[in-house]
A and B are shown apart, each in its own frame.
Chain A
Amino acid sequence: MTIIVKKVTQIMCGIIFLYGIYIVVHGHLTPGGGFAGGTIIAGAFILLIIAFGSGFLSLKKEETGSSILESSAILVFLLIASAGLLVAGMGIFFVNYLPKGTIGHLISAGFIPLFNIAVGIEVAAALLTIFLALLIYKDEVIK
């Protein structure tokens, strides 16, 4: 890619990443939430790979890392949801057992922000894995 694309990507990808995190964390106050924010975070990484290119071996290492990150994010999600089964007083799956604060504050609404963060990491890792898998397949065949 040309030098203009590389320079602009170097400046912008950090801002895109930060914007994605903002949408994920404020999911219980503004529209967005886990899935939309996760897509934007994945977009930041994919922009970097497209603009700068990458060798085959470093892409393979990246793919293993993002695959493991995706599975662990889902396991964390299941763990937080099942922890409601053990909390005394309410033995129900998926119940909101953390204290809910006042409407409109950042730290409120029980465990919904935690779920948004888990889903955001999971969606970003999943989209990155899909992109890397298709890219690695093309490189494998050409080799």
Chain B
Amino acid sequence: MTVYLLCILLFLIGLYGVVAKRNLIKIVIGLAIMEYSVNLFLILVGYVKGGTAPILSRNLANKVFVDPLPQAMVLTAIVIGLATTSLLLAIAIRLYRKYKTFDIREIKNLKG
């Protein structure tokens, strides 16, 4: 149970980074930490006591496997996270060229 609580703590740390930091790159890093924590949580959900890696091989002698479905889900979620992070960073670089700063207090053209 403590493992799951630690994952949620990591999620909240990432959320703090997104909400409270002023530098664009730190916001991106906070979002990445949130994503890693959710992936970790997903893999831990599939743990079976005393299980081994779920690979089918020729000498299958009464083995207990961990749940392979969350591992497939996490592979997909990692790829989605890659796409999100790369798009965020590309836009952050272009924002730096236009506004000459990474500080979100200066980037406030849209209001109201």
User: In chain B, residues 54-112, which have Cβ atoms closer than 8 Å to a Cβ of chain A?
Assistant: 55-58, 75, 78-79, 86, 89-90, 93-94, 97
- Taking a contact as CB atoms under 8 Å apart, the answer to whether A133 and B90 are in contact is yes
A137 to B90, CA, bound (A): 10
Query: Which residue from A31, A133, A141 sits with its C-beta under 8 Å from B55?
Result: A31
Q: How far is the CA of A123 from the CA of B86 in the complex (A)?
A: 13
A31 lies within 8 A of B53 (CB): yes
Task: Bits for A102-143, please: 1 = Cβ < 8 Å to B, else 0.
Answer: 011000000000000000000100000010011001000100
Contact B58 A134 (CB under 8 A): no
Q: Give the total of B residues in contact with A, Cβ under 8 Å.
A: 14
Q: Does A30 contact B (CB under 8 A)?
A: yes
Residues of chain A in range 20-38 having any CB-CB distance to chain B below 8 Å? 29-31, 33, 35
A130 touches B58 (CB 8 A): no
State whether A137 and B93 are in contact (beta carbons under 8 Å apart), knowing that A35-B75, A130-B86 are contacts in the complex. yes
Q: Which residues of B contact A123 (CB under 8 A)?
A: 79
Give B46 Cβ to nearest chain A Cβ, in Å.
Answer: 15
**Residue numbers in A under 8 Å from B89 (CB-CB):** 134
Q: B79 near A35 (CB under 8 angstroms)?
A: yes
Q: Across the interface, which residues of A come within 8 angstroms of B94, CB to CB?
A: 137
Residues of A within 8 A of B78 (CB): 35
Q: Which residues of the partner chain A approach B57 to less than 8 Å between Cβ atoms?
A: 103-104
Give the complex CA separation of A134 and B89 in angstroms: 9
**Minimum Cβ distance to chain A for residue B37 (Å):** 20
Query: Separation in Å of the A71 CB from the closest CB of chain B?
Result: 15
Known: A130-B86, A134-B90. A103 touches B79 (CB 8 A): no
- Residues of chain B whose beta carbon lies under 8 Å from any beta carbon of chain A: 53, 55-58, 75, 78-79, 86, 89-90, 93-94, 97
Given pairs A31-B53, A133-B90, 7 additional interface contacts (CB within 8 A): A103-B56, A103-B57, A103-B58, A104-B57, A130-B86, A134-B89, A141-B97
Lowest 6 CB-CB distances: which A-B pairs, in order?
A: A104-B58, A130-B86, A35-B79, A141-B97, A103-B56, A35-B75
A interface list, Cβ under 8 A from B: 29-31, 33, 35, 103-104, 123, 130, 133-134, 137, 141
Identify 15 residue pairs between A and B in the complex whose beta-carbon atoms are under 8 Å apart, listed by A's number. A29-B55, A31-B55, A33-B75, A35-B75, A35-B79, A103-B56, A103-B57, A104-B57, A104-B58, A130-B86, A130-B90, A133-B90, A134-B90, A134-B93, A141-B97
